[in-house]
Structure 1
Amino acid sequence: MADDPMYHEGMRQLQDVRDTRRLADRLEQVIVRTAFTDEDRAFIERSAMFFIATADADGHPDCSYKGGLPGFVQVLDERTLAVPDYDGNGMYRSWGNVRANPHVGLLFLDFENPKRLRVNGTAQVLEDDPLRAQYPGCVFVVRITAQRIFPNCPRYLHRMQLVEHSAHAPRPGYTPPVPAWKSFEAFRDALPARDRPGDKPD
């Protein structure tokens, strides 16, 4: 259960301006939960992407897209998610923020059958998690403990269809193509040895 209240004073002020305090309280009572339902599990584990909001120790925010093949996010139990960290641009803005401030907000979306699910909680970035072996191409495993889980009205979601999954999404027995930007001269000498074309790691 989340220790902090659902709504802080800034939220309450705007609710009072629009006379939505009662509605906000009712929504908290009716739709906010602290454990994943079977429907939540199915929705999350068929998702091929989500957005995650993080902040550093001073509250400066960051938002990132995370993608993979359906099933790349696992629901481990009624409150825990596991997310693989795949090779990226090396900035570590999301997971680096988690090391400084564990609070996160996740948003799962279905654009074909409009649906939104929010998961707020805390995260840990683990270098030696046993789940790494289940994820080809995984660098770290991020475990997220849910504090609040709730759906959102999907009315403003634009209906879109998936054309194809990214060729870069890791999967068993498959070597993803090298992203084009890693061949740019501007970055070549800054790449880790493992990523330099023709170079061998030390």
Structure 2
Amino acid sequence: MGELFGVASVASYDAGVSRNGDELSAMYGEGARALQDEFDSRRLADLLADVTVHGELDDGDIALVREQSTVWVATVDADGWPDVSYKGGAPGFVRVVERSELQLPIYNGNGMWRTLGNISDNGRVALLFVDHVRPWRVRVHGIGTVLTDADTVATFHGAEAVLSVQVARVFPNCGRYIHRDGEVSPFVPQPGRETPVPEWKQLPFLNDVLPAHDPARTEG
């Protein structure tokens, strides 16, 4: 799981430096910060933001997107309620136009048009790609545009519209709780069984930023 930290160098990371810049302010709101402090995870959260969050798709992100046949699309409606929609297609149905743009075909549905309607209202969209094989997850935040012109729609067989997403922020998530082959992940806590520690949390440079109560933390 060391690839979690492949996006940026960690050599210059200093756990003693407070990172309250624009990039972390955008990543973590007051509620997240309060909970990080309650559970002693602010140091870890700052490091993860430093080394995993990036502004466009990298080669690993692109490879993962092109392999997937599903994506979850999150939007916000006019009343501020979040909405999540499952979208499926053939593997690679989400098109990587370039590192800063994804296109998603919208097939015939129930006629409510909630997802694209929300995007038309405020533009904000989040995509969640889940790879059940590795396992691994990638989140993409961006600004969406609904495309209905015939030429663009025709590039996706069977589509009624196309969602274009201009990428603003990309970050991976540990896949330890993703179930594979119909079996519950071994990382899910179970009575009477010791829960394994993920490999990425055992990386030596992480030890000092782990919460004091984290099972992966070692003293000495």
Q: TM-score, normalised by structure 2?
A: 0.69
Given the alignment, which residue of 67, 71, 77 partners 1:46? 67
| In structure 2, distance between residues paired with 1:2 and 1:46 | 30
What is the CA distance between 1:19 and its match in structure 2? 1.0
Q: TM-score, normalised by structure 1?
A: 0.75
Match of 2:18 in 1: none
Sort the Cα spacing of 1:46 and 1:131 in 2 relative to 1 into closer, same or farther, 3 A: farther
| Structure 1 residues not aligned, in runs of 5+ | 162-202
| In structure 1, distance between residues paired with 2:86 and 2:64 | 17
Sort the Cα spacing of 1:119 and 1:22 in 2 relative to 1 into closer, same or farther, 3 A: same
User: Does the CA contact (< 8 Å) of 2:24 and 2:46 recur in 1?
Assistant: no
Match of 1:187 in 2: none
What is the CA distance between 1:113 and its match in structure 2? 2.3
Sort the Cα spacing of 1:31 and 1:98 in 2 relative to 1 into closer, same or farther, 3 A: same
AA of the residue aligned to 2:178: L
1:23 aligns with 2:65: no
User: Does the CA contact (< 8 Å) of 1:52 and 1:106 recur in 2?
Assistant: yes
What is the CA distance between 1:121 and its match in structure 2? 1.1
Match of 2:172 in 1: 151
Sort the Cα spacing of 1:104 and 1:111 in 2 relative to 1 into closer, same or farther, 3 A: same
Within-5 A mapping of 1:151-190 = 151-160=172-181
1:58 aligns with 2:93: no
What is the CA distance between 1:112 and its match in structure 2? 2.4
User: Does the CA contact (< 8 Å) of 1:113 and 1:159 recur in 2?
Assistant: no
Aligned length: 161
1:124 aligns with 2:145: yes
| Structure 2 residues not aligned, in runs of 5+ | 1-21, 183-220
SS of equivalent to 2:106: strand
Match of 2:110 in 1: 89
After TM superposition, where is structure 1 displaced by more than 2 Å over at least 4 residues in a row?
A: 1-4
What is the CA distance between 1:17 and its match in structure 2? 0.4
CA RMSD of the aligned region, Å? Answer: 1.9
Percent identical residues: 46
